[in-house]
Amino acid sequence: MANNSQDRALRERAAQVIPGGMYGHQSTALMPDGFPQFFTKAEGTRITDADGNQYIDYMCAYGPNLMGYHHPDIARAISAQQTSIDAATGPSPLIVDLAEAMVGMISHADWAMFCKNGGDATMMALMIARAYRGKRKVLVAKNAYHGAMPWNTPRPGGVLPEDRAHLIYFDYNDTQALEDAANEAGNDLAGIFAAPFRHDTFTDQSMPDREYAQAARRIADEYDALLVVDDVRAGFRMCRDCSWETVGVRPDLSAWGKVLGNGQPISALLGNDRAREAATKIFVTGSYWFAAVPMAAALETMRLIRETDYLEHMTVIGQSFRKGLAEQAVSNGFGLRQTGPVTLPMVLFEDDPDFRIGYGFCQAALKRGVYLSPYHNMFMNAAMTRSDIALTLEATGAAFEDIKRSRASLKPSAALTALIDA
């Protein structure tokens, strides 16, 4: 086991001053034993934990790292902007530049508003959908994550039934279920939320059926409601436009975050002219929403998205990762399910209902310097090279052999079992 004395000491201190020792999606409470909680460095494709152990990082900060941590062009744009203005009494001209850049790139968009986190953008989408015609009901796919606000957070603590009183749930990719949900909402239908693909935690991912995506558009039109694509997670890892361009559907609103500033805190809600007036009716803001440094980072990230082959490169690299894992699984006698886009890999084991094989595998890969998730989709970044993939596959090859040897003694995670039972 790698040295983890600093991590343990930090966890002990954190337990005194941070509720539960850590919270939210970056808590390692659900990760396999041995996953570090604290990191001191992130550079390119690598993260280094508090004890100096380095990993090839397939979580990419849960999405934001698109071009590589500290991409030199983006780092330069950040440093240059820091010398003039960041958060101040009014926004800088960059907010107009960035709105123009996004409207120029995203086909459905006529306007942009900026905020900090993906949850801000999805909350604004919800409010604008309701402000649009003063209607209340919003359709959301079961188990779809759109942020940690009371209307959608996946855990029940602190949430009232009233927070979700006007949400109607349907099964992703099920056109009939979507029609039925719209019927139930009737004249009160304000909006439909759509994830670009089904990217729920713990389960196989599924790409959107064209028919389903087009039905979502048609139903929104029929009911004079707004269609929202939540591109916070998948944005710019499926295409250089809103992800539902891949199925020929243009939403009224799209929510963006994560990759937008390549790690700088910025997110966005984009909309079309149909939703413009409703967007002027809601009051939303935040002390840091207008800060210029993250906007400078976002402008530079947009430029790299437009001008480089980052997406094609990530796709090729993602394919070789997927192919390599698939071959290793077969040669070691494991069934593997790899679903969703190759730029957002999801790797689950067959015959692994309590995830003990997946946990054992990720633990064994971590020991060899590769940071994978056993239950969440992962993220490719454009700094990944063929040699990173070769190093990764060396580690995963050895990890497969480890779990083949220890298969009979692998144990389910107590924390995960408790969560599933709850």
Ligand X SMILES: Cc1ncc(COP(=O)(O)O)c(C=O)c1O
C-alpha–C-alpha distance, residues 32 and 373, integer Å: 9
In whole angstroms, the minimum distance from the beta carbon of 257 to ligand X comes to 4
Q: Is 42 helix (H, G, I), strand (E, B) or coil?
A: strand
Would you count residue 71 as binding ligand X (CB under 6 A)?
Answer: no
Q: What are phi and psi of 84, to 5 degrees?
A: -115, -70
Q: Which of residues 28-67 bind ligand X (CB under 6 A)?
A: 62
Choices 5-13, 53-61, 65-73, 228-236; region in contact with ligand X by CB under 6 A: 228-236
Rounded distance, CA 395 to CA 15, Å? 32
Comparing CB distances to ligand X, the nearer of 69 and 400 is: 69
Which residues lie below 8 Å from residue 49, measured CB to CB, with a gap of 6+?
4, 6, 7, 36, 38, 39, 40, 55
Taking the least distance from each CB to ligand X, the nearer of 119 and 191 is 119
**How far, in Å, CA of 186 to CA of 159, rounded?**
26
Write the interaction track for ligand X spanning residues 111-150; mark x where CB under 6 A is met and - where it is not: ------xxx--x----------------------xxx---
Whole-angstrom distance, CA of residue 98 vs CA of residue 111:
10
Of the candidates 282, 247, 396, the residue with the CA atom closest to the CA atom of residue 331: 396
Say how many residues touch ligand X, by CB under 6 A.
Answer: 13
Shortest gap between Cβ of 240 and ligand X (angstroms)?
19
Which among 226-234, 298-306, 328-336, 399-407 is the span making contact with ligand X, rule CB under 6 A?
Answer: 226-234
The pattern of x and - marking residues 245 through 274 that bind ligand X according to CB under 6 A reads ------------x-----------------
Q: Which residue's CB atom is positioned nearest to ligand X?
A: 118
Instruction: Return the sign of the alpha-carbon dihedral for residues 32, 35, 38, 43.
Output: negative
The answer to whether 256 and 121 are in contact (CB under 8 A) is yes
Residues that bind ligand X (CB under 6 A): 62, 117-119, 122, 145-147, 195, 230, 232-233, 257
